[in-house]
Amino acid sequence: MIRIAAAGDVHASEATRDRVESAFERVEQEADVVLLAGDLTTTGEVEQAVVLADACRVVSIPVFAVLGNHDFHGGHADEIAEQLADAGVRMLDRSWATCEVAGLQLGVVGTKGFVGGFPGCVLPDFGEPLLREVYAETTRDAEAIARGLRELVHCDLRIVLLHYAPVEATVMGEPAGIHVLLGSDRLATPIAECGADLVLHGHAHAGSFEGRIGQIPVYNVAVHVTGRDFWIIDLEGARDRSSVEVEGPA
């Protein structure tokens, strides 16, 4: 059994320091591993990342994270990632990492993901170079997910950690006109093909909590959706006999 504390869209800043530090102090008693689904800062300033880094630095359990669009806004994404990595956070950027938890090998594939839309409204690979580059950026994320899942095929459990949504079900509740900006079903293709035990993302603050890629559960763990600092998810058993149970808030 691996107990995961998941959160997206923490939006750390000096104004939220007390809340962030208190949440991380508590989570160590509730979970075996922490997964952060992007938008770690409010407006992408390094000083905001320091707040989250300070909270993560005192946590002894593994912490994995990806960046979100807010973390890129200030033009300091690399510095933000460095601050958090220095605090022991395993930052994933079209990459993957493993850890041993409760006697099981856990593999996490992480990438921010990007836009593109869902059936009925998608950005095509056509037209002006700028639009085609948007399409290509999402392609690079999808390819990274596939590579990571293949590399982690030996793991007992595999999780895909994103910021943008790979399914439309978890953005439902947001205005239909912006669904194309909230994620892309192209991110789901390598997950369906390669398999995973769990997919986590954030970004869609007014979205819905749960969706699926085939039989693979997908959870939108943005704190605005869960209403909690962390949502606890249990994964039990090896990958070929895994089960997922949503325990609730922490």
- State pLDDT tens for residues 183-198: 999 999 999 999 999 9
d(CA 239, CA 250): 25
- Per residue in 16-59, pLDDT tens? 999 999 999 999 999 999 999 999 999 999 999 999 999 999 99
Residue 150's H or E segment, with its range, is helix 129-151
Q: What is the DSSP letter of 152?
A: T
**Would you call 192 exposed, middle or buried from its count of C-beta atoms within 10 A (0-12, 13-18, 19+)?**
middle
Nearest to 201 by CA among 177, 214, 182, 215: 182
The pLDDT, as a whole number, for residue 247 is 54
Is a pLDDT exceeding 70 seen at residue 245?
Answer: no
Q: How do residues 176-234 score in pLDDT, each as one tens digit?
A: 999 999 999 999 999 999 999 999 999 999 999 999 999 999 999 999 999 999 999 99
Helix %, strand %, coil % of the chain (to 5):
35, 30, 35
Phi, psi angles (nearest 5°) of residue 64: -115, 145
Please report which helix (H) or strand (E) contains residue 199, including its range: strand 198-201
Q: Say if residues 68 and 2 touch (Cβ distance below 8 Å).
A: no
In whole angstroms, what is the distance from residue 72 CA to residue 69 CA?
A: 5
pLDDT at 238: 58
Q: Does domain 2-249 have CATH number 3.60.21.10?
A: yes
Tokens found for residue 171: 């953005």
Q: What is the pLDDT of residue 1?
A: 86
Residues 136-157 have a mean pLDDT of 98
The phi and psi torsions of 145 (rounded to 5 degrees) equal -60, -45
Report the pLDDT value the prediction gives residue 243, as an integer from 0 to 100. Answer: 54
Instruction: Parse the chain into domains and list their residue ranges.
Output: 2-249
Q: What is the chain's mean pLDDT, rounded?
A: 95
Instruction: Produce one character per residue of 41-66: b if its CB has 16 or more CB atoms within 10 Å, e if not.
Output: bbebbeebbbbbbbbbeebebbbbbb
For residue 33, which of 85, 106, 87, 95 has the smallest C-alpha distance? 106
Query: Given this model, what pLDDT does residue 244 score?
Result: 59
CA-based end-to-end distance of the chain: 17
Query: For residue 198, which of 163, 168, 157, 148 has the smallest C-alpha distance?
Result: 157
Give pLDDT, residue 102.
87
Q: Taking a C-beta distance cutoff of 8 angstroms, is the pair 171, 183 a contact?
A: yes
Task: State yes or no: pLDDT of 246 exceeds 90.
Answer: no
CA–CA dist 140, 145 (Å, integer): 9
pTM score, whole prediction: 0.95
Q: 31, exposed or middle or buried, with CB in 10 Å at 0-12, 13-18, 19+?
A: buried
Phi, psi of 192 (to 5 degrees): -65, -40
Residue 248 has pLDDT above 80, yes or no: no
Q: Which residue reads 């946590």 in tokens? A: 59
Task: Read off the pLDDT of residues 94-134 as tens digits, 9 standing for 90 and up.
Answer: 999 999 998 999 999 999 999 999 999 999 999 999 999 99
Residue 2, pLDDT above cutoff 50: yes
Report the pLDDT value the prediction gives residue 241, as an integer from 0 to 100: 45
